[in-house]
Structure 1
Amino acid sequence: MSKSDLRARPMFHRTRDAIEAHLTIVFTALAVSRTVQNRTGLAVRNVIKQLRPLRSATITINGTTQTFAPNIAAEQQAILDAIHGPKLTH
């Protein structure tokens, strides 16, 4: 994985809080992407490419709201299930 996979850009922060916030975001993105990669067995770029087309729509007409879920193919659903991980029981 590279910075380009995370679409990280150079940032020029001057205060300690801004630098620490930026590093926190970058390392969080790295941790999330590694988890996705480990759970799916796919490169992050491939996961993004396959899941990016999924869209839902919410339309409100005359006070009535309707939400339309995306049509998810079996291969995309398998990726989503893998990302979700095992169900936790309490």
Structure 2
Amino acid sequence: MKAHNSKATLNEELIVKAGKLLGVKGYYTDIKAKVADNKTIIGRYHELYRVEQAFRVSKSDLKTRPIFHFKEPSIQLHILICFMALVISKHVEIKTGLSIRAFLVRCKKITDARLVNQINNKEVMMRVPVPDELKKIIGKIGLPH
């Protein structure tokens, strides 16, 4: 829209230009052509959604929340812990074929109980048996069960 003396008119030039560019997408980067060609850059851009998805997953499934740190080492450690949790969750997903949420739901069914005999004051630990399905899943990761 153009306005001349409070009279609005359509910007025909802009409409024509927008019509010509309809469906055209551009990528801007400072990466040199000898480092990465156009196909590689476009491919990496299309993979960007995976990074965004990973951070959505890390915040919800891994319960990472913003924490207020004021010193650089604390900030770096917090980022490292969140990143390591993300790496481990991705490793679990790749090895098991399950989402991290589905894996955690299955693992949370394993519970421990601590029983204390009031007469002799002896403590007994009991664990719910690990289901065979979960043993197979844990075996894919290479953890003892």
Q: Which structure has the larger Rg?
A: 2
Match of 2:96 in 1: 40
Paired letter, 2:92: V
* TM-score when normalising by structure 1: 0.80
User: Any gaps of 5 or more consecutive residues in structure 2?
Assistant: 1-53
Match of 2:68 in 1: 12
Question: Is residue 127 of structure 2 the alignment partner of residue 63 of structure 1?
Answer: no
Match of 2:85 in 1: 29
Which structure has more relative contact order (CA 8 Å, sep 6+)? It is 1
Give the Cα–Cα distance (whole angstroms) in 1 for the partners of residues 61 and 136 of structure 2.
Answer: 22
Q: CA RMSD in A?
A: 1.9
Task: State the 1:35 CA deviation.
Answer: 1.3
Q: Post-superposition, which runs of at least 4 consecutive aligned residues in structure 1 deviate over 3 A?
A: none
Give the Cα–Cα distance (whole angstroms) in 2 for the partners of residues 74 and 80 of structure 1.
Answer: 10
* Cα gap change, 1:54 to 1:8, in 2 (>3 Å): same
Task: State the 1:19 CA deviation.
Answer: 0.3
Secondary structure in 2 matching 1:6: coil
Paired letter, 1:75: E
User: Any gaps of 5 or more consecutive residues in structure 1?
Assistant: none
Give the Cα–Cα distance (whole angstroms) in 1 for the partners of residues 138 and 126 of structure 2.
Answer: 18
* TM-score when normalising by structure 2: 0.53
